Structure 1
Amino acid sequence: MTPLSFDFSMWFKNLQLYRLPADWRITPAQLEEQLAKIPFQPCGTLTMQSAGWVPPKNDEDALVYTLDRHWLLALCTEQKLLPASVVNQVTHDRIEEMEQQQGYRPGRKQAQQIKEQVTEELMPRAFSRRRTTQVWLDTLNGWLAVNAGSANQADDVVQYLHKAVENFSLRPLVTQTSPAAAMTDWLSSGDAPAGFTIERECELCAPDEEKATVRYARHPLDADEIPAHIAAGKRATRLALTWDDRIAFVLTDKMQVKRVQFLDVLQEEAESQADNGDSFYSDFALMTAEFSRFLPQLVEALGGEAKEGV
């Protein structure tokens, strides 16, 4: 199977996984009202960063896109890019000019004030970078997934959910068997769990202070050196897998699902459904249906979900 040859901008490429509270009773209308308290506003003249909620579908105003039990949200962040090297250079030139004029070099406090003034002067000319991060909620099965490549990015999104939604609680997904232990066992035995296939990429890391690391890319993982590294104490921290010949991904020891790729069979389904109407609707329906099947099987492969508080 090969990955999609075109880009699905709506399709998730990463899954940072959380569990909704068991007593989740918020309706889409209630969530919409609460997200509207923090709408996205572009950075002002003297603002370096801004974030807020935006419609996940470009041609609609709703902040919560719903398809039965599946909801989609989007947080937009904007950051002004003002390189420190530019600020430092202009500040240096300003200090040199002042030293020549007054005959002595400005003190530390005055130099800091000059730097702050230079920053304010340059900010209106700074470039802005925007990023939209999507959030999928499966309100029936209690999933919340952030389409973020890093835990920090996901944490920022969760923080804005906490700001917007009253009495909101969320916990990361925790499984009975840690991903590191499970992946190490799969590599050691050469057997993937039912429904999954081990692909040609992994990372092995020693648990000691030096963190000696070995990475394999486009390399058969049934070679003799893999069990040898494991026997020497290294543990798997990343492993490329395929689920049901439909989704390729990389699982990490932090319970992150990264570099999600939808394979040929899904491409064909997406293309056939797109011909019948709204492609955003059909893509979201297909993606959420796949994730709703994929996630329970991934959790089962990791020994099931750990009970809360254990």
Structure 2
Amino acid sequence: MHFKNAIFYRLSKPFTPEFNQLGALMADHAFTPCSGQQLSSYGWISPHPAHSFMVFESNGALLITAQRESKLLPASSINRLLTERVAKIKSTEDRTVGRKEKMQLKDEIVIDLLPRALSKFDTTQALIIPNENLIIVDASGFTAAEELLSLLRQTVGSLSIVSPEVINSTSTVMGSWLIADQSESFALGADCSMQDNEQGKAVFKGVDLLSEHVIGHVNDGYQVITIGVCWDSNYFMSLNNDLRISKIKATDELSEAISNDNDDPLVRLDTDTARLSLEFQRLWQDLTTAFGGESKAATQTA
């Protein structure tokens, strides 16, 4: 996997745009750099510099990438300039600057600084697997994931997406793994975090998760929030109780086995995307099975 994170979404209706049609629609919402007075800009870019199309298809899966440019305007700099302007008005005009005027001055300062501001660029990738009605977003949090989905909805005109749910409590199941060390697909790692409403948060790093000290927290009522695991003996990852997956990393053995020395970057991308699609399908199946199966209830995204 070349995704570092994974947030799974369900398509409640078939994803209808075909490859060529989707690429054309995405071109209408392509990323453009910030203009002189823009604080940020967001749009689609190609999944790979060597690929000119906005979407990359492999084995029926569609890889897409969104990019955000954000102008960096440190609040400390803005506030310093605002203080200087307010002080100058007080000294030259001998009057108090009100709240409304301060806001106007602040806006003027932002406008003055924008053309000289540095830019920060962030990209978010997603994999659409139409045959499985799945969308997987490589984002550490829901805000970035749903920003991409919102852009995708604008792009295709209509998109029905839900956040999938599972039957059993994720925190309870992950806690049972610590007590019984029983999970068919996930081997325990060495990191874990728990939360108790009264006693606060407990974080364990690089420890034996089957130790009496860790298990004692579960018996005392702590709920598991995140737990480090190894899936399929090939990938280390952190499972979160909201079904997010983070810190995905292949084992050294797998990295060596799947290393691709092909000189053509698009051939490598094709191979990696096809593998990514198949592995995510298996991972989602194992994940939902571990938590009692996928529930029919789901939360509609905005």
TM-score category of the 2 structures, normalised to the smaller one: over 0.9
What percentage of aligned pairs have identical amino acids? 25
Name the aligned partner's letter for residue 197 of structure 1: A
Query: Which of 56, 66, 83 is matched with 1:75 structurally?
Result: 66
TM-score (norm 1): 0.91
CA contact (8 A) 2:13 2:160 kept: no
Aligned length: 297
| Match in the other structure for 1:121 | 112
Cα deviation 1:41-78 (Å, max 9, x = unaligned): 11111110110011112112211100021110000001
CA contact (8 A) 1:15 1:146 kept: yes
- 5+ residue gaps, structure 1: 1-9
Matched, 1:239 2:227: yes
Mapping 1:102-117, distance limit 5 Å: 102-117=93-108
| Match in the other structure for 2:256 | 268
Matched, 1:16 2:7: yes
| Match in the other structure for 1:29 | 20
| Match in the other structure for 2:193 | 203
Name the aligned partner's letter for residue 201 of structure 1: D
Change (3 A) 1:276 1:122: closer
Query: Which of 280, 284, 288 is matched with 1:295 structurally?
Result: 284
RMSD of the alignment, in Å?
1.8
Q: Partners of 2:6 and 2:29 in 1: how far apart?
A: 24
Change (3 A) 1:211 1:24: farther
Matched, 1:305 2:291: no
| Match in the other structure for 2:41 | 50
Change (3 A) 1:178 1:34: farther
Look up the SS of the partner of 2:145 in the other structure: helix
Which aligned segments of 4 or more residues in structure 1 are displaced greater than 4 angstroms? none
Matched, 1:215 2:203: yes
Q: Partners of 2:205 and 2:220 in 1: how far apart?
A: 21
Q: Partners of 1:120 and 1:153 in 2: how far apart?
A: 26
TM-superposed CA distance for 1:109, in Å, is 2.1
Cα deviation 1:222-261 (Å, max 9, x = unaligned): 1112222112111111000111111110000111011000
TM-superposed CA distance for 1:286, in Å, is 2.5
CA contact (8 A) 2:10 2:164 kept: yes
Query: Which of 213, 217, 220 is matched with 1:229 structurally?
Result: 217
TM-superposed CA distance for 1:292, in Å, is 2.4
Look up the SS of the partner of 2:296 in the other structure: coil
Q: Partners of 2:244 and 2:218 in 1: how far apart?
A: 22
Name the aligned partner's letter for residue 81 of structure 2: V
TM-score (norm 2): 0.93
Name the aligned partner's letter for residue 214 of structure 1: A
- 5+ residue gaps, structure 2: none
Query: Which of 144, 152, 156 is matched with 2:143 structurally?
Result: 152
